[in-house]
Amino acid sequence: MSDPKNLLVSKLNSKKAIIGIVGLGYVGLPLMLRYNEIGFRVLGIDIDAGKVNSLNAGKSYIEHISSDKLAKARETGFEATTDFGRASECDALILCVPTPLNKYREPDISFVVNTTEALQPYFREGQVVSLESTTYPGTTEEELLPRIQNDTLTVGVNIFLIYSPEREDPGNPDFETRTIPKVLGGHTPNCLEAGKALYEQAIDQVVTVSTTKAAEMTKLLENIHRAVNIGLVNEMKIVADRMGIDLFEVIDAAATKPFGFTAYYPGPGLGGHCIPIDPFYLTWKAREYGLHTRFIELSGEVNQAMPEYVVNKLMDGLNDAGKPLKNSKVLVLGIAYKKNVDDMRESPSVTIMELLQAKGALVAYSDPHVPIFPKMREHHFDLSSVELTEHSLAEYDAVVLATDHERFDYDLIKSKAQLIIDSRGKYREPAANVIKA
């Protein structure tokens, strides 16, 4: 009888394996397109019937992924389904599901657990299961391993378990799924070999580490590094502001040093599906070992306080104009978490909107990438994007530049807005109607 690992590796190398992508969002869809593009048959699985129906009709619901690409994938064998039973058809199952925090800033891995349990009856010999969701070290061993192994399936012998964190950067034109190196850890050496065969087909460089825990920690370190450095520059921004110094000018000058300095820029807080969330996965897990991660938690405090800092700057600006914030009309410019994308996850702009609304302001927003405020798990606004014109800008008591999309007409905004609260450093030259925040 053929060795299950060798048979699986052979199927992957010859592109005869069927790839199952579970979770068809910002991570799952680019991965699906990549495997489809290189000749694999790909089956997408998601609990959201609306997403499945859109994909099967060749229509995209993510701005930077074109419907043309999805239509082409459909023509070349891609199919989406809500039927988890079809997972048994797949030789590889790649889990790309959300891992948010709960209201206590603790990891919510219910999506990972529930997805694994939904797949549980359909795991079979000769499959490789990969978790890509960002999570705390130990999740793959503690949560997936016991749900995959049973009387007939032994991980590392006839079914294979790996962890390979996603590294998508939506809207970044310099990188794509293929060119971003892929970190990979296997539960056993056989698992690692199966994982390499899975990802080496689609990714230019696969970087292996010794364990799934090491791979899980790698992803956390990458994002904690960013969170801590952004926390540092956000704190520096407050200090520099008090001293009458433009921190953006300082950062640009420091960035001319060709060694030992990496430029990070301040903003209104952290957004996206990784940077505001992932550090707290480690702080939570570290408590199990009696450790207190002070650097991580301090940067979290600084970054979470930034939306309030921006609102306070707005209140000061209105106050100088003799206006209270209550009943003032405030337009928030940009509600995606970063420029040039439609991704709203953990966007500090939304927190700013909620703080403004709670203080009685009349809040509106403008975002060329988000025409209608989407349904979100925790935030609810019945609003649509305001078109920026000379007339519309003049109607507002203040505008808050929260996300610096390239499609905004910054000259128009500067010439027509009564008051601009600039949290992104777009307006470097002093102006009577611009307050840096």
Looking at the annotation, which residues are catalytic?
A: 274
> Rounded to whole angstroms, how far apart are CA atoms 138 and 182?
19
Report the run of H or E that residue 296 belongs to, with start and end: helix 294-320
| 101 in Cβ contact with 137 (< 8 Å) | no
Give alpha helix (H) positions in 57-148. 67-75, 110-119, 139, 145-148
Q: Which amino acid is at 140?
A: T
> Rounded to whole angstroms, how far apart are CA atoms 94 and 44?
10
Q: Which residues of 315-352 are buried (b: 16+ CB within 10 A; e: fewer)?
A: bebbeeeebebeebebbbbbbbbbebbbbbbbbbbbbb
| 194 in Cβ contact with 158 (< 8 Å) | no
> Rounded to whole angstroms, how far apart are CA atoms 308 and 327?
18
For residue 303 the two structure tokens come to 């970054």
Spell out where 181-223 has E strands. Answer: 182-186, 206-209
Using only C-alpha atoms, what is the Rg of the chain?
Answer: 24
The DSSP line for 129-173 is EEE-S---TTHIIIIIHHHH--SS--BTTTBEEEE------TT-T
Q: Which residues contact 240 (CB under 8 A, 6 or more apart)?
A: 246, 247, 250
Beta bridge partners of 281: none
